[in-house]
Structure formats: structure tokens, C-alpha cells
Amino acid sequence: MTDFLSFAVEYLPEILAALPVTLGLWVLAMILGFTLGLLLATGRLYGNRVVYGLSTAYVEIFRGTPMLVQMFFIYLGLPEIGIVLDPFLAAFVAIGMNSAAYQAEYFRGAVRSVPPGQMMAARAIGMTRMEGFRSIVLPQAMRRVIPQWTNEAILELKYTSIAYAIGVSEITARAEKIGNTTFQFFDVFLLLAVIYVILTGIVAQVLQIVESRTAIPGVNR
């Protein structure tokens, strides 16, 4: 135990030096996932047959296959057709595109869970469909989506570790490197696990505060 603590004290700074890479990857991927996810959700909710079909196929494919395979496809495969991405960029695109498929489903579910009477009431006071969607339906849907989005954010934070498999030097890769030089694999990966638990714990706490701040009395779920 004291061995582990002294090990942790010695190598924590080295692992944490890679934290900006992990967090940067995470935030950028979430933003890509959010934007693309909204587009996909809109496509599935309001698109014509072609748009609906394409966005549905996208969602099904990305949710039905492993992210590691998607990442290899993008990082190793795309250069075959001339698209060469460095590891960080490839990981960012892969995680973001994967997350988009999940976020799209959360958005879609949330929009559909807003009672139809809300849109009717918006139309009844003279709003257009677009206005009704933007100022009545969407704000309610967004609040409903926050709990799921919180989950997704934590999942994605953990998924950034997969970028290690294509050589992004985030914290998992850094920990493995330390293991390779010290041969104290158990200590270093235990330390890494502790870091992730604390990290996801902090994110969960912060997002929970956001959740309670944005809650509407009586509108739950």
C-alpha cells in the first residue's frame, strides 16, 4: 500500500501531463457528437424519405459496431482513398461520429416525449411550426435530454481511452509507457483506474448540478 502510494506520488504528474490530450479529445468529440447528433435527429424526425433513410442507416451502423473497429476504419482505412488523419484527429472523428449516433437517439426521444399539446398550444397563440419548435418544443426537449446526455458524456470520457489503440498519447498511453519502463504494471494501471474514477466522479457531480439548475418543476424524466 505504501509502495503504491509512493509510486503514485512519483508518477502521477507524468500521467496527468497527458490529461489535456484526454480532456481535449473528449470535449471536441462531444461537440462533434452534439452537432452531428442534432442534425441526425432532425433528419430522422423531419427529413424526407432519403434523409430519413440515410440518417437512420448512420445511427444503426454506428450503434451496431464497435468503436475500435470504426477507429481503425478511419485511421488505417481512409488513407487508402487518400484521406490521411493523424492519430488525434482520427480518434476525434471516430469518437465524435460514434457519439453522434447515440446523441441523435437521445434528442429524437426527447423531442418525441414532449406532449403534442405543447405544439398545438404554440400554434394556437399564433406561432408558426418553426417558431413553435424552436421556442416551445426544443427547450423542453433539451431539458429532458440532459440526464441521458450526462450519461453519454461520462461514457465518452471513458471511450477516449480507446484512442490509445491508435497511438494517441492520452493518459492511458502514457500509463502504459510508464509500465514499460518501470515494469510495475499493476501499480501504474491501478493509478490510472483511480484517476478515471475520480475524473468521471467529478464530471458526474458537475453535470448533476447543471441538471438540477435547469430542471423545470413538475417536468421530470
Partner 1 sequence: MIFDIIIDHLPYLFGGLWVAIQLLVALLAVGFVLGIALALAEVYGPRPLRWFGMAFERVFRGIPEIVLLLLFFYGLGDFYPIEPFPAAVLALGLRSTAYQSQIFRGVIQAVPRGQMQAARAIGMSRAQAVQNIVLPQALRQAIGPWTNEFSSELKATSLAYVIGVVELTRQGRYIISSTQGNILVVFAVIALMYFVVNWLGNRALYGLERRYAIPGYGETR
* Interface residue list for partner 1 (CB under 8 A): 61, 63-70, 72-73, 76-81, 158-162, 164-165, 172, 175-176, 179, 183-187, 189-190, 192-193, 196-197, 199-201
Separation of alpha carbons 111 and 138, rounded Å: 7
Least separation in angstroms between CB 66 and partner 1: 4
Q: For partner 1, give the closer residue by CB, 132 or 187.
A: 187
Q: Which of 13, 39, 37 is nearest to 156 (CA)?
A: 37
Least separation in angstroms between CB 180 and partner 1: 9
Q: Are 39 and 58 in contact (CB under 8 A)?
A: no
Q: Are 34 and 103 in contact (CB under 8 A)?
A: yes
Least separation in angstroms between CB 175 and partner 1: 8
Q: For partner 1, give the closer residue by CB, 46 or 73.
A: 73
Q: For partner 1, give the closer residue by CB, 81 or 125.
A: 81
Residue 183: left (phi > 0), alpha (psi -120 to 50), or beta?
left
Q: Is 169 helix (H, G, I), strand (E, B) or coil?
A: coil
Least separation in angstroms between CB 139 and partner 1: 28
Place of cell 518501470: 182
Handedness of CA 41, 45, 47, 49 (dihedral sign): positive
Q: For partner 1, give the closer residue by CB, 21 or 175.
A: 175
Least separation in angstroms between CB 181 and partner 1: 13
Q: For partner 1, give the closer residue by CB, 61 or 120.
A: 61
